[in-house]
Structure 1
Amino acid sequence: MSELRFASALSVLPETPAAEVEAVAALEQSLGGATPELLVLFITHHHGGALDGLGRRLMQATGAKRLLGCTGETVIGGSREVEEGPALALWALAGDGVWIEPFRVGARADEEGEVQFSGLPPAEFAEEGTLLMLGDPFSFPMGQYLEQLNEHYPGRPVIGGMASGGRGPGQNLLFQDGETLAWGAVGLWLGGSVEVVPVVSQGCRPIHEPYVITKIQDHVIRKLGGKTAAHVLQKAFQSLESRDAALLQRAPFLGVAVDATKSTFQRGDFLVRGIMGIEKREGGIAIADNSLRAGQTVQFMVRDAQSASEDLDQLLAAQASEGEVGVLLFSCNGRGTRMFPVADHDASRVQARYGREVPAAGFFAMGEIGPVGGRNFLHGFTASLAVMRPRALPS
Structure 2
Amino acid sequence: MYILPMKWTSSLQSGPSLEKAVSRAAHEVRERIGSQSADLGLLFISAGYRSEAVEIWSNLKRDLDVRHLIGCTAGGVIGGGREVEQQNAVSLTAAIMPDVEIRTFSLLQESLPDADGGPKAWRDLVTCPPEAKPHFIILSDPFSLDADALVSGLDFAFPEAIKIGGLASAGASPGENLLFADQRVASKGAVGVALFGDISVEAVVAQGCRPIGEPLAVTESDGNILIGVNNVSPLAYLQGLFEKLSQRDQELLQTSLFLGILMDPFKKAPKQGDFLIRNILGLDQSNGLMAIGAMLRPGQTVQFHLRDATTSREDLQLMLSKSESAKWNKVSGDPSEFGAVLFSCVGRGA
Determine if the TM-score, normalized by the shorter chain, exceeds 0.5.
yes
Q: Match of 1:150, SS?
A: helix
Q: Give the letter for the 2:347 counterpart.
A: G
Report the counterpart of residue 167 of structure 1 in structure 2.
172
1:317 aligns with 2:330: no
CA separation in 2, counterparts of 1:134 and 1:85?
Answer: 21
CA separation in 2, counterparts of 1:330 and 1:274?
Answer: 12
Q: Return the TM-score normalized by structure 2.
A: 0.69
Report the counterpart of residue 149 of structure 1 in structure 2.
154
How far residue 207 of structure 1 moved from its aligned partner, in angstroms, is 9.2
How far residue 133 of structure 1 moved from its aligned partner, in angstroms, is 0.8
CA separation in 2, counterparts of 1:130 and 1:149?
Answer: 10
1:135 aligns with 2:140: yes
Report the counterpart of residue 334 of structure 1 in structure 2.
347
Q: Match of 2:139, SS?
A: strand
Matches within 5 A, 1:1-395: 1-52=3-54, 54-108=56-110, 120-124=125-129, 128-205=133-210, 256=262, 258=264, 270-272=275-277, 290=297, 303-319=307-323, 320-321=325-326, 322=329, 323=332, 324-335=337-348, 340=349, 345=350
Distance 1:248 1:164, change over 3 A: closer
How far residue 142 of structure 1 moved from its aligned partner, in angstroms, is 1.6
Identity of aligned residues (%): 31
Q: Give the letter for the 1:329 counterpart.
A: L
Q: Give the letter for the 2:321 counterpart.
A: A
CA separation in 2, counterparts of 1:216 and 1:14?
Answer: 43
Whose helix fraction is larger, Structure 1's or Structure 2's? Answer: 2
CA separation in 2, counterparts of 1:299 and 1:62?
Answer: 43
CA separation in 2, counterparts of 1:180 and 1:190?
Answer: 21
Q: Give the letter for the 1:73 counterpart.
A: G
Higher relative contact order, structure no. (Cα contacts within 8 Å, ≥ 6 residues apart): 1
Alpha carbons 1:98, 1:192 under 8 Å: kept: yes
How far residue 12 of structure 1 moved from its aligned partner, in angstroms, is 0.5
Alpha carbons 1:125, 1:189 under 8 Å: kept: no
Q: Match of 1:2, SS?
A: coil
CA separation in 2, counterparts of 1:127 and 1:156?
Answer: 10
CA separation in 2, counterparts of 1:19 and 1:204?
Answer: 34
How far residue 41 of structure 1 moved from its aligned partner, in angstroms, is 0.5
Q: Match of 1:140, SS?
A: coil
How far residue 198 of structure 1 moved from its aligned partner, in angstroms, is 1.0
Q: Give the letter for the 1:331 counterpart.
A: S
Q: Return the TM-score normalized by structure 1.
A: 0.62
Q: Match of 1:328, SS?
A: coil
How far residue 155 of structure 1 moved from its aligned partner, in angstroms, is 3.8
Q: Match of 2:159, SS?
A: coil
Distance 1:305 1:48, change over 3 A: closer
Distance 1:103 1:266, change over 3 A: same
How far residue 182 of structure 1 moved from its aligned partner, in angstroms, is 1.5
Q: Match of 1:201, SS?
A: coil
CA separation in 2, counterparts of 1:102 and 1:4?
Answer: 19
Q: Match of 2:315, SS?
A: helix
Q: Give the letter for the 1:334 counterpart.
A: G
Q: Match of 1:194, SS?
A: coil
Distance 1:330 1:256, change over 3 A: same
Report the counterpart of residue 289 of structure 2 in structure 1.
none
Distance 1:73 1:254, change over 3 A: closer
Distance 1:124 1:44, change over 3 A: same
Q: Match of 1:202, SS?
A: coil
Q: Give the letter for the 1:132 counterpart.
A: I
Count how many residue pairs are aligned between Structure 1 and Structure 2: 299
